[in-house]
Amino acid sequence: MALHVQQFFHDVLALPFDEHTVVGNAYYAAPQPNSALRLRIDFAPTIRHGEYDGLCLRVIHPDQGVLDTAILRFADHGTFARRDTARDLVAGRDGYAVIRDWHAHSSQPPWHDADGTGLRTAIEQYAHFWFPPPPTASQPAARPAAQPTPSTSASPRTR
């Protein structure tokens, strides 16, 4: 079964980025207008083929490549807490806080019953760090920190 990536990002995460697209299994966004930086989000694989335990976020520059990478684990953000509780799965048990794309007989996407609230909040915080909103007219631009001036009373020592 496919991951249904487009649906996952639209239905579960509902990220606030106006400029975005899904290419293959990756979500790309331009969180800040006129910025060369892009945000790429993929599913983070485990050691098993077709199994994922989180999202991999990358900030990409067209000339410099990947500037930063962060992994957001489903378990850390409660994404599948409701599903895993209903299945009596706890940390350390097979299938806990993961999705798999090999359940061909299921009519539901592998992320069915996911709660994207925690992940969405973490992604927004990450994006805010790398893509801060431009200052508004009511919000002054940050001023550079004052540089210390050399003291005129100090004289160099000689031996």
pLDDT tens per residue, range 97-118: 999 987 656 788 888 889 999 9
44 confidence band (pLDDT: 50, 70, 90): very high
Closest CA to 7 of 87, 99, 118: 99
Average pLDDT value for residue range 31-45 = 93
Asked if the model's pLDDT at residue 155 lies above 70, the reply is no
What band does 153 get if pLDDT is binned at 50, 70 and 90? very low
- Nearest CA among 94, 87, 108, 15 for reference residue 55: 15
User: Residue 15, class by beta-carbon neighbours within 10 Å (0-12 exposed, 13-18 middle, 19+ buried)?
Assistant: buried
pLDDT confidence bin for 4, thresholds 50/70/90: confident
- The number of C-alpha atoms within 13 Å of 54 and in the hemisphere containing its C-beta is 18
| CA–CA distance, 41 with 21 (Å, rounded to integer) | 11
Which pTM value belongs to this model? 0.81
Q: What pLDDT does 1 receive?
A: 45
Average pLDDT over residues 134-147: 61
Which tokens go with 130? 């790398």
* pLDDT grade for 141, boundaries at 50, 70 and 90: low
Q: H or E segment at 128?
A: helix 117-130
Secondary structure class of 29 (helix, strand, coil) = strand
Is the model's pLDDT at 124 over the cut of 50?
yes
Determine the Cα–Cα distance for residues 119 and 99; give it in Å rounded to an integer. Answer: 15
The yes-or-no verdict on residue 34 having pLDDT over 60 is yes
